[in-house]
Structure formats: structure tokens, C-alpha cells
Structure 1
Amino acid sequence: MKTLNTEELQIAEGVLLKHLPKSFKVYGFLYAMNRNKPNTLEVVVDTWPDFKVIICRPDPKNKHAIEFMKKVTYYSMDEQILRRMLTEENAVDWSTYFLIGGCDFSHAPMFREMSSARGVNNRLYTLVHLMYLPDCSTLPPSAVDSELESRMSPLNDSHVELVNKMWKFGGNKQGYRNIQNLISNFPSCCITDGQGQPVSWILVYDYCALGILYTLPEHRGKGYAKLLVSAMAKKLHAQGFPVYCFIEEENLVSHRLFTNLGFTEDPSYRAAWFEFNF
């Protein structure tokens, strides 16, 4: 197992680009890291340069890593090598809580088997669609009037508390730190009311996926979500970012919205988040 240095991370990004869409989440992390976005991760591979498994995990040398949930993600071209790295090569710390996110749901039996062997509890946290936009030309032309355009802007630090409060996975100090980090370092967009307060917003996660899309209930039905997704997708595409998202299986409204905007998915593939030692 090898930890990648700065130059190798750039090479690995290029390799993962050839394995989209399944490699999107690790590719997104590397894309951000290679453009000097702050992170608390280290990246390991089974071998170099012809790797079959690449894993992003908390960097034990990063003093800020403890401030964020212990998140692990990976892309694997060989399940047996992945199994070996997770069981024999200490690719994850089985003694503490951690979350493996955005991974191939077909690996669920392997996770259950490994957890059982170690006496570690695990559960499926959420099952999602991995959706991506192959062609930005499918997005509808902008039909924003000047009044609405004047109410569109990036989020800022004064909005962190509101976004965290409304975020399904937030509402606590850790969520606050996550939202603050995303607003400070990644693209975001919101629509404000007459008092300048956000009523609808979208952010970009540290793995470059669109997310945390939300509209206050009293402002729904006005097309704000469609407008924000379209605007952010165009902005990300223009800046070279990948344009993709994860949508929970039960979120039919969002799945329909993104599908109507031209996002697509591999129908045979599902991504999932798994918790361990919870």
C-alpha cells in the first residue's frame, strides 16, 4: 500500500477520469485536492502506478481531521484487492467510528462479512442514485429576469447557521463546521428575499458534487431549485469541475428534477453510505 504525493495525486486524477461515472466521488476529492482546496485526507493505493484500488481516508497527521466525521471513500477495480486492503493492510481504522461513502452498493455483503469477523457493527446509512450531466447543452436556456437575477448570489458566513439548521445531516457543531468549510472554499449559490436572507440554496461538497439543495417551504413552487441547479451546473462546467450529484433513493422529487435537467445515471449501479462502529 502506498500513500500518494502531490505529483502522484495529479496522475491519479487523470486515471480516474477514464473510469467515470463510478469513480466520480474519488475523482471529485482528487480534483479538489489538486486545486489546493483544504482537506483532511490522505490517498492510498494498492500499487503504483498501475493501481486497482484507491482509497481516500482521514490523514492522521492532519490536526483538523478530528473536527470532521471520519469519512472514507474508495474506487475499486478489484474486489479481492479491496478486501485485502481493508482487512490486512489497515486501510481503515476498525477500532473507531467511520463512514464509507459513495461506494458501490454491491460490496455490501463484503462489508457485512468483514464487520462480523471483527465484531464491529455496521449498517446501511443511505442508498443513492449517482447522477451526472454528460452535456451541459441539455440545460434549459436562462430565463431569469433582472429582479430575480439581482437576488442570486453566493452564500457567505452569515448564512452558515441557517443552512446547517435545514440540512438533513446537519443541525450540530460538526454540521456547522462542514457547511462553513464548503461555503468558504467551494462554489455555492442562493436566492434571497427582500431582506437579503436566503430562501433557496445549493452548495458543492468537498468531493465536488452538487448537494444540500433546499428551498424554504413557503418559497417552494417557484422554480428556484431548477434555476439554482442549472446555474450551478453551468458554472461548474465552465470552471472545469465535474458535474454530478448523489440523490437518495426515496427522494423522487429531486430525482425527477435532475433527470428533467439532463442528468443521467447507470441504471445497473447504486452507490451507498455505510456506517461502522456507530
Structure 2
Amino acid sequence: MQILTCPAKLQSLEATLRRSLPLSLPVYGAVMHINRGNPGEMEVAVDSWPDFGAVLARQSGEVAGGDPWDMEGGGVGALGQEWGHWEHWGVGMGILGQEWGCWEHWSQNRGMGALGVEHAELLTETWPYGGTSRSRQYLVDMLSRLPNLCLQDETRYPVCWVLTDHFGTGAHGYTLRAHRRHGYMRAALAITAKRAHARGFPSYG
């Protein structure tokens, strides 16, 4: 595998992957991040260039061969092309935004904001993959580098949130139990998808 660092090649790869959506989603978001400042410090490798048959996206310095479904770490996105059909082994959950106008104006006595690293403990307690030092570091990394959105109560305490990961996909969404069945997650997903779409990222579910 050869790591692509040439901006022209990375732009060409992004264009090729876009034509293969949605099957290219496991690596497409990572390539988009790389071409837009690389906030997640990702790298992408291909088996050959320009006629590649496999693409691997991962955080810089990670060693290939780990479990790509390991949600405690950064994860690995991979695509393989065989007989003209894409197969995908990557990770990620889609961000669904069907109603662009939904909840754009949050209630007057509530607010929208972003989570910070100070919320890492709250997130690790509410994440099925949380509870370890590695998962906490993964959350801190996303909180400090990548876009997220939270809906807040009257005291500005987070009640619902959506994080995006290094692959441009939804990584951790949660609504506190006392605030469920009010449509908050639907609102957060719609707003997150609208913002991602404005930055050129695809919205899907």
C-alpha cells in the first residue's frame, strides 16, 4: 500500500469516491477531512495509483491489521474493488437529515452549542463503548478536533448531542433519559446534517 500525500492525487481520489457513493462512505469522509485541513490527522493509502483496487483510511501512524470494528480506537475505513463492484468493510453510522427546516429555531429558553473536552466524562458514561482510558481519549480527540452539536437546557447543560468522527460520520449520539420523547435527537440530527451538507459532506442514513 502507498500513502497518498500529493494534494492533486487526493482531490482526484475524492472525486472518484464521490462517484461511488454510498458504497464509498467508509473512506470518503476521511478523504474529505484530509482535503480540508485534516483536523483528525488522517492518512489514506491505496494499493496502486492511479488504477487502485483498494483504499485504506486511518489515523496517521496507526498500524494496519487491527480490528476495524474497534470503536474504542480511531477505527479503520477500507474499500476493495473487485469485478467492478465496491465492497466495504469500514465503520460508521450515517447522519440523517430529512427535514432541513426542522427545529432550526430552538426554544427561546434553551440553546444550541458545542461540547468540549470538559464533557468527556459525561460522554464516556453514556457511550456503549465507553468506560476505558482508550475510549475516553478517543472521545477527547473528537471533541477537540471535529464538529459536534449539543442541545442545552435552561441552565446550558447538555441534554442531547451528536458527535462526528474522523470519517465524517456520526460517532456518538445521545439524549438524557429525562429529556427523551420530545424529538430532540431528530432535531440535533437534522441540524448536524444541514451543517455537514453546507461543508460539502453527504448526508445519509
TM-score of the pair, normalised by structure 2? 0.80
User: Corresponding residue for 2:13?
Assistant: 12
Q: Which of 182, 185, 201 is the equivalent residue of 2:142?
A: 182
Which of 57, 75, 82 is residue 78 of structure 1 equivalent to? 82
Bigger relative contact order, structure 1 or 2, given CA contacts below 8 A and separation 6+?
A: 1
Q: Which runs of 5+ in 2 are unaligned?
A: 64-71
Query: In the alignment, is the contact (CA less than 8 A) between 1:52 and 1:76 conserved in 2?
Result: yes
One-letter amino acid matched to 1:178:
Y
Deviation, structure 1 residue 182: 1.3
Paired residues, number: 191
Give 1:175 deviation, angstroms: 1.6
Structure 1 residue runs without a partner (length 5+): 63-67, 83-99, 103-127, 245-262, 264-278
Structure 1 residue ranges, 4+ long, deviating more than 6 angstroms after superposition: none
* 1:116-135 pair list within 5 angstroms: 131=94
CA shift, 1:146, in A, is 4.0
Letter in 2 for 1:147: Q
Moved more, 53-62 or 167-176: 53-62
Matched residue type, 2:4: L
One-letter code of the match for 2:17?
Answer: L
- % identical equivalent positions: 31
Max radius of gyration: which structure? 1
CA distance in 1, matches of 2:119, 2:79: 34
Residue 210 of structure 1 and its aligned partner are, at CA, apart by 2.0
- Structure 2 distance, partners of 1:28, 1:158, is 26
CA deviation profile, 1:101-160 (whole Å, cap 9, x unmatched)? 43xxxxxxxxxxxxxxxxxxxxxxxxx8x6576xx6x41523435425x42111122212
Distance (whole Å) between structure 2 residues aligned to residue 132 and residue 197 of structure 1: 23
* Partner Cα separation in structure 2 for residue 210 and residue 70 of structure 1: 13
CA gap 1:180/1:58 in 2 versus in 1, 3 angstroms: closer
1:36 aligns with 2:40: no
